Structure 1
Amino acid sequence: MNETFVTLSGWLGNDVSVRQAADVPVASFRVASTPRRFQRSTQTWEDGDTQWYSVNAWRALAENCEQSLRRGDPVVVHGKLSAHVWTNKAGLEVTTFEIEAAFVGHDLNRGTSRFQRRKPVVASDGASTEEVPADAA
């Protein structure tokens, strides 16, 4: 099966929410992407229609998104795109787009960010499943 991967830049429409799915953290958030086009005839920039995407990030990426992203942040998301068609209460057919994120980051065209590496915590039995920020260890 072929899968469609996309990269989009936009603005976080809400704070990240995290839930557990089979004991695995899943972060969910919405990204708004509005294309801009230069109109030669008027020598002005015009905004196109804003498109909204639901984004899900799993495991460590979910936790990092929760700690790093806030509503209104400029972001870049890369992942698998899927479309879902459903009928709303008014009886209209609606298509929503969802991205299962592989990579998420701040859009550094719009500002600066500081990276903080996470390092694994090694338990007494040698297992290392939990991670903490590097400066917290």
Structure 2
Amino acid sequence: MSKATTTVEGFVANELEVRDVNGHRVVKVTVPHTPRKFNKQTNQWEDAGETAWFTASFWDEQADVIVAGVAKRDLVTITGQPVPRAYQKQDGSIAVETDLKFATLGVIPRPSDRSQGRSGTPNAQSTSDEPWSTPGGAQSDAWSTPGSFGDDTPF
């Protein structure tokens, strides 16, 4: 018996939409990957192949969590068992999309995401220009407060 898994890291391609399938909530996350290479003559990155499309579906409670925490253009990793599916594009050519079954998804935080809300407006709770700072500053940062996690207990 063998088990193949694939992990893809990329940006969410579409706005997420919850659908109803036989009484269950489902959301599909799509992440494209286009190979790139650096052109030393132009000093720029260029596409170096066809775009591969990866999708993963999440159901019921997982769908709710994904919709609440993931948006278009978020950087994510998705890991699952690959199931390729061929389809015909509008121009008549054949393309392959890989569905990742039994998938897990992780969001990769980026500094611009932390200092701004989902709407792109500055986070009203942020009191620092530092994207890693906790709302309220160091005074309310549990990691900076001695004894706040029982770390004053000798081992």
Q: Same fold (TM over 0.5)?
A: yes
* Greater percentage in strand: 1
- How far did 1:46 drift? 3.0
Q: Looking at both structures, which has the greater relative contact order when contacts are Cα pairs under 8 Å and sequence separation is at least 6?
A: 1
Alignment of 1:31-110 (within 5 A): 31-37=31-37, 46-47=45-46, 48-49=48-49, 50-88=51-89, 90-108=91-109, 110=110
> 2: CA distance between counterparts of 1:52 and 1:94?
9
- How far did 1:79 drift? 1.2
CA contact (8 A) 2:86 2:96 kept: yes
Runs (4 or more) in structure 1 with deviation over 6 Å come to none
CA contact (8 A) 1:57 1:100 kept: no
Bigger radius of gyration among the two: 2
Q: CA RMSD in A?
A: 2.8
The runs of 5 or more residues in structure 2 that have no matched partner are 115-155
- How far did 1:98 drift? 1.7
* Greater percentage in helix: 2
After TM superposition, the score normalised by the length of structure 1 is 0.63
The runs of 5 or more residues in structure 1 that have no matched partner are 114-137
After TM superposition, the score normalised by the length of structure 2 is 0.57
Q: 1:66 to 1:93 in 2, by over 3 A?
A: same
CA contact (8 A) 1:85 1:95 kept: yes
CA contact (8 A) 1:37 1:46 kept: yes
Task: State the identity %.
Answer: 21
- How far did 1:45 drift? 6.4
SS in 1 for 2:67: helix
| Equivalent residues, number | 111
